[in-house]
Every structure is written in C-alpha cells, then in structure tokens.
Amino acid sequence: MKNNIIFFSIDRLGDYLIRSNVIKKISDNYDDIEIVGSDKNFKLLNNQKFFNKIYLFDTQKKNTEKIKFIYNFFLKNYKSVIVFDGKSISNFLLLFIRAKFKFTFLYKKGTILNNFYLYFIAIIYKLFNINYEFLYNRNQIENNHEDNYPNKYKSLKRYFSNIDDHTYYLEKSDISIYDTISNKYILIHLDEKFNDIFNINNQFESNIVNFQRKINKTIILTTFNNNNDYYKDINIDKINFSNIDLEAIQNNKIIIIENMPINHFQNLIENSFLNISCHSGLFVHTSLALNKKTFDIINESDQKWLNTWIIPSNLYYQIYKSNNQQNFDISKILENIYEKQSAL
C-alpha cells in the first residue's frame, strides 16, 4: 500500500494553526501528504512546503463542491485519513475513502437530537473501523464543560508516538524585508471585532496617537478590506501594500498598511515588538507560533470559549473591552495595554 495520508481542514486559519504541529508530526510518518483546505486557509496551507498536494474546498460554493469532492474521492485509496474540521462532507467522505487508519473529531452539543446522532454514528463508525475523539461545542463549554482543542488534537499521540507537546508548526516566511526593523514597532491588526468597543468611532485616532507617544515606538496598523465605520473615519495615512516600502514605515510614527499578503504579514508579525488585535485568529495564533508577546482584546463573556483555543503562555495576555458591568472605551483599553506592557 502507498504510504500516503490526507487531512481534512475545511475551516479557518486559526483552526489550522492550533493543530498545525500535530499535522506536521503525523506527516513525518508518510511519504505523500495531502490536505483539503478552505478558501479561508488555502493561502496559508500553500506556504507549508511539506504538503505534496493541497485541495481547495470553496465554502462559497458548498453544494457544487460537495458533489465534486464525492466524485473525486469516492473509494480513493490512502493509508490514513484524518478529519479535523468536523464538517459533514469530510465525515461523509471518511466513510467511503479506502484507508487502513481513519480518525475524526465529533462535537458534543448536549441536545437530545445530538446525543441520538452520536449514539447512531458511533455504531456506524465501529462497523467502518473509524476512530474518533469528542470535542465540546461552544454552548457546552460556556455551560462549564471545559475543553481545550489544541490538547485534544494531541490525543492522536495514541496512534502517532512522535507527536510532542508543541501546538504550532509554521514554516518560516520566504520574506525577510522587515528583519531590518525588528523590535522597532508595535503591530495592531484592525478588523470588524473593533466595532463593539465603546466610542471607537470618534476616539480611535486620537487615542492611537496618545498611545504611540507614551510607548515611544512606531505603530503599524494592518487591515484587510476594512469597510467598518470606525476605520473610514481614520485620517492616518493609509497605504496599500503594493505601494509600501521600508522608508515609508521608518518615516512615519503611525502608518496603516492595507491588504498585505500573508507571507509579508507573517514576517511583519515575526519582527514586531508587540502584537495587538481583537482576537483575530490568524494574527493571534501566528504571533504565538512565532513566540511574540501577544495582547488579545476580548469581551469577558467570550473568555471561556477563546481559552478553548489557546494553550496558556507567558506571552499571551487578555485585555477586556467589556465585562459584566460595562463596556470599556478605546482609551481605557490602550491604557491597560500600556500598563501591562510596562510591568513586564
């Protein structure tokens, strides 16, 4: 039998990153390594050179993609198949791909219907010799069923003894342009998760300026296709990546870079002094994978869920934008980051 394996990871960038080291360690046991990714993580997967083949499942065309994948993978032969994403199409294909070893993750949702489904699927999986592990979904976790996805993925060590305790495997970017300004800037990634910060629309710019003066480092803000109101009102120089150069960065105390490609983005994260975002999955997990100080702006109500995706680290710090009593404005959030950073 050909010594090959296929993984299914039809989900987001952060999802892939928290299982990336497990995937790499398992892959070290095979000659041919394939993975099915989504339109959300396809570019990142293409930067990982140990994959021999990467299939794109376009989540914008789910119905046609399902038909195509059933046709292409029906009774296809692999030595091993591992489904990480919990998607129905992935688990359906798991039944019909021929493989000596099959494994998937099933979500416990706590409903009567879900319990019946899991009982039924366990019988089917036993007939098909499919191994599985349970994960709790968000509702269950927030109802005090604690779980940690990175550690659950490492449970595959039962079958692959070379899996270690690391969470991330991220191949070094082929870009090194930002190495020359290493540790001279703070990187803040802007997206829609800033929208619910109190007074963000009329206080963001002035507070970023004050934050830069206090911390005395260049501030680089990055964003992708940002159409949020708070962002439209910012008068700080916005430069599309295609027009950026090191001189432009070095000559500005604060600069916004729009639509940076993922390999440049990774190198920029790697060379920062400090990384800040409102829990952007790619940004947070890439920052931690590169062993950078990472400040995660979150709602206290989301803490249990977000901790499910994170391994505790002395590089990772959570800053609340709201708690049970109040929403915090951007000035308070940046002040908390400044005070925490100063105390480190």
Average pLDDT over residues 224-229: 94
Per-residue pLDDT tens over the stretch 126-141: 999 999 999 999 999 9
Q: Cα dihedral angle (205, 211, 213, 219), rounded to 10 degrees?
A: -80
Given a cut of 90, whether residue 233 has pLDDT beyond it is no
Over residues 153-179, the pLDDT tens digits come to 999 999 999 999 999 999 988 889 999
In tens, the pLDDT along 85-137 reads: 999 999 999 999 999 999 999 999 999 999 999 999 999 999 999 999 999 99
Question: Does position 68 have pLDDT exceeding 90, yes or no?
Answer: yes
% residues pLDDT > 70 (the chain): 100
Rounded Cα gap, residues 72 and 75, in angstroms: 9
The Cα diameter of the chain in Å comes to 65
Domains 4-158 and 178-343 share a fold: yes
pLDDT band at 1 (very low <50, low <70, confident <90, very high): low
Predicted TM-score (pTM) of the model is: 0.94
Confidence category of residue 339, pLDDT binned at 50, 70, 90:
very high
Q: What is the pLDDT of residue 244?
A: 84
For 177-191, 239-253, 270-284, which range has the lowest pLDDT when averaged over its residues? 239-253
Residue spans of the domains in the chain: they are 4-158, 178-343
Rounded to an integer, the average pLDDT of 260-269 is 95
Identify the CATH homologous superfamily for domain 4-158.
Answer: Glycogen Phosphorylase B; (3.40.50.2000)
| HEC-encoded secondary structure of the chain | CCCEEEEEECCCHHHHHHCHHHHHHHHCCCCEEEEEEECCCHHHHHCCCCCCEEEEECHHHHHHHHHHHHHHHCCCEEEEEEECCCCHHHHHHHHHCEEEEEEEEEEECCCHHHHHHHHHHHHHHHHCCCEEEEEECHHHHHCCCCCCHHHHHHHHHHCCCCCCCCCCCCCCCCCCHHHHHCCCEEEEEECHHHCCCECHHHHHHHHHHHHHHHHCCEEEEEECCCCCHHHHCCCCCEEEHHHCCHHHHHCCCEEEEECCCHHHHHHHHHCCCEEEECCCHHHHHHHHHCCCCEEEEEEHHHHHHHHCCCCCCCCEEEEEEECCCCECEHHHHHHHHHHHHHHC
Which structure tokens are listed for 72? 């292409």
What is the reported pLDDT for 248?
82
61/249: higher pLDDT: 61
Q: What is the pLDDT of residue 250?
A: 86
For position 205, what pLDDT does the model report? 95
CATH of domain 178-343: 3.40.50.2000
